[in-house]
Amino acid sequence: NAGVTQTPKFQVLKTGQSMTLQCAQDMNHNSMYWYRQDPGMGLRLIYYSASEGTTDKGEVPNGYNVSRLNKREFSLRLESAAPSQTSVYFCASSGGQGIKPQHFGDGTRLSIL
Amino acid sequence: RKEVEQDPGPFNVPEGATVAFNCTYSNSASQSFFWYRQDCRKEPKLLMSVYSSGNEDGRFTAQLNRASQYISLLIRDSKLSDSATYLCVVSDNAGNMLTFGGGTRLMVKP
């Protein structure tokens, strides 16, 4: 069972380069999320998509854009990478009624030099 | 003040010990509560949801105190495999915005 799949798993960029992190889920979930996790900061929500066709800002959206391509896929784009965006990025999805825990992908470790 | 606060630890306990973690949250309108477990360099995984009446799953017991705005996790008979970081998580009404605590690190020693 794939669950939530993120690509790539590791990436090194130079300051100013752009890249897109990909995320796909096969659980037919409506909601998808992008987080970053930094030492001592916990996970912080960057953007989320409550349903196909909608996206909303989270706690730390600056410097990022997202696209909910279809129900399965939710991508995160860094247009001009900065060293402050060095982090571990997690994609998650959730679905169903009532309490909705989230299922996470393996993460993308991104370093910006 | 952080919205969800946890003691970062580490809590170093021997195998077989009982250990408890607390977490406090600031938003009184929060509706849903969870404990997640995260192993080193891995993704967070749901450990258990936390219900108002308290709930138990094997060696794990979660409690919610809405009046004092804290959540607890009790682990009985600790195993080496329980060593991980435990994340307290609180959600808004819609369940879309999860707020994570910084995590409490547990190390269970032989």
CB contact under 8 A, A45 and B97: yes
Is pLDDT at A106 greater than 70 in this prediction?
yes
What is the per-residue pLDDT across A59-100, written as a single tens digit (0 to 9) for each?
Answer: 999 999 999 989 999 999 999 999 999 999 999 998 866 667
pLDDT value of residue A12: 96
Whole-angstrom Cα distance, residue A30 to residue B20?
Answer: 35
**3-state DSSP call for residue B14?**
strand
Comparing A34-38, A46-50, A100-104, B69-73, which segment has the lowest mean pLDDT? Answer: A100-104
Q: Comparing C-alpha atoms, which of B26, B46, B23, B21 is closest to residue B36? A: B46
Q: Comparing C-alpha atoms, which of B7, B100, B96 is closest to residue B46? A: B100
**A5 phi and psi angles, rounded to 5 deg:** -115, 125
State the pairing for strand pair A108-112/A10-13.
parallel
Comparing A33-37, A49-53, B58-62, which segment has the lowest mean pLDDT? Answer: A49-53
What is the average per-residue pLDDT within A41-58?
A: 91
Full DSSP string of B59-88: TEEEEEETTTTEEEEEE-S--GGG-EEEEE
Q: Which residue of A has its CA nearest to B95?
A: A100
Q: Which residue of B has its CA nearest to A33?
A: B96
Whole-angstrom Cα distance, residue B18 to residue A42?
Answer: 25
Cis peptide, bond prior to residue A8, ω within 30 of zero: yes
Between A8 and B52, the higher pLDDT residue: A8
pLDDT value of residue B31: 84
Is pLDDT at B33 greater than 80 in this prediction?
yes
Comparing A87-101, B12-26, B29-43, which segment has the lowest mean pLDDT? Answer: A87-101
Q: Which residue of A has its CA nearest to B102?
A: A42
Q: How far is CA B91 from CA B21, B35, B94, B95, in A?
A: 19, 12, 8, 5
pLDDT value of residue A21: 97
CB contact under 8 A, A101 and B97: no
What is the per-residue pLDDT across B56-104, written as a single tens digit (0 to 9) for each?
Answer: 999 999 999 999 999 999 999 999 999 999 999 998 766 667 889 999 9
Confidence of residue A1 (pLDDT cuts 50, 70, 90): low
pLDDT value of residue A87: 96
**How many Cβ atoms sit within 10 Å of the Cβ of residue B10?**
12
> Which of A27, A100, A108, A109 best probes binding to B when mutated, by most B CB atoms within 10 angstroms?
A100
pLDDT value of residue B98: 85
Q: Are B77 and B18 in contact (CB under 8 A)?
A: yes
Q: Which residues contact B28 (CB under 8 A, 6 or more apart)?
A: B66, B69
What is the average per-residue pLDDT within B27-41?
A: 91
Whole-angstrom Cα distance, residue A80 to residue B99?
Answer: 27
Q: For residue A12, how many C-alpha atoms fall within 13 Å in the half-sphere facing its CB?
A: 1
Q: Are B99 and B4 in contact (CB under 8 A)?
A: yes
Comparing A13-22, A48-57, A84-93, B78-87, which segment has the lowest mean pLDDT? Answer: A48-57
pLDDT value of residue B1: 62
Nearest CB among A48, A100, A106 relative to B43 is that of A106
Q: How far apart are the first and last CA of chain B?
A: 37
- Residues of chain B contacting A27 with CB distance shorter than 8 Å: none
What is the average per-residue pLDDT within A17-32?
A: 94
